[in-house]
Amino acid sequence: MERKQFKEKRRPEKEMIFGTRAVIEAIQAGKEIEKILIRRDMTNDLSRALYAALEGRVVPIQKVPVDKLNLLTSKNHQGVIAFISPISFQKLEDIIPFLYEKGEMPFIVVLDGITDVRNFGAIARTCECAGVDAIVIPAKGGAAINADAIKTSAGALMNIPVCREENLKTALKFLSDSGLKLVAATEKAADNYTEVSYKEPIALVMGSEEEGISPEHLKLCNSLVRIPILGKIESLNVSVAAGVMIYEIVRQRNSINAENAV
């Protein structure tokens, strides 16, 4: 089952940057940061300088007890640890116009609250294999993009654009305003997933197994679809459900190409 929270796994120190000034310098140098842990009660000039350096950047910050920082490293972290991202994040507002300019029909996958690294990696692998144009994730409340995610994705995360958005609701509105049909896969839907057309620009929204897609995001979607469950278990693993949905979209789009070729 999808979990809302999980304990921070101790990572190799080469994946981390320690100390406020070192983190500021990394940000200013354009280093891609996955997230930053900062001591909960830290309120000095350097911490203010850190927040100033982060202005305009989508980097998750977690305020944590100093004990958590001490568990992650024995080095002098000065109350700040940054995790280096193994990938470079892309901007959604750049990708969509670029696809239209190339004459392509955008296909985006939006992940709402999927925190399990293995599920995330498996979905990314399917997306890359199916030719999905980009994956959209929230800055907070999503799976970490770390070595485990890269491994589970079989390297797909190195080959597909990932957009980390500060506000997923704003991102969905942007996609809708850009002409994409927002399709939500949810057990609350009445329509079978095969009964809806995907022969247009699509943003497929997938939620966690535990919480599903948030109500405010569901309200923005044009179509709600469900995958029939015929057995006793109530739901599919989210990565499996994503694969089913993604390849139905691919199937319908391939039928367009076949029709045009006749």
Comparing C-alpha atoms, which of 116, 208, 119, 121 is closest to residue 160? 121
pLDDT for position 219 = 96
List the domain boundaries for the chain. Answer: 13-84, 92-261
Element (H, E) at 147: helix 147-152
Is residue 180 within 8 A of residue 106, CB to CB? The reply is yes
Distance of alpha carbon 163 from alpha carbon 137, whole angstroms: 6
- The reported pLDDT for the residue numbered 14 is 63
Spatial contact of 119 and 61, defined as CB atoms under 8 Å apart? no
- Name the burial class of residue 196, with classes exposed (0-12), middle (13-18) and buried (19+) by CB atoms within 10 angstroms of its CB: middle
Among 3.30.1330.30, 3.30.1490.20, 3.40.50.720, 3.50.50.60, what is the CATH number of 13-84?
A: 3.30.1330.30
Element containing residue 155 per DSSP (H, E): none
pTM of the prediction? 0.87
- The tens-digit pLDDT sequence of the chain (262 residues) is 343 333 455 566 668 999 999 999 999 988 889 999 999 989 888 889 999 999 988 898 999 999 999 998 888 898 999 999 999 999 999 999 999 999 999 999 999 999 999 999 999 999 999 999 999 999 988 998 888 899 999 999 999 999 999 999 999 999 999 999 999 999 889 999 999 999 999 999 999 888 899 999 999 999 999 999 989 888 889 999 999 999 999 999 998 765 665 5
So what's the pLDDT on residue 261? 55
Torsional class of 79: left (φ above 0), alpha (ψ -120 to 50), beta (otherwise): left
CATH number for the domain whose boundaries are 92-261? 3.40.1280.10
What pLDDT does 146 receive? 85
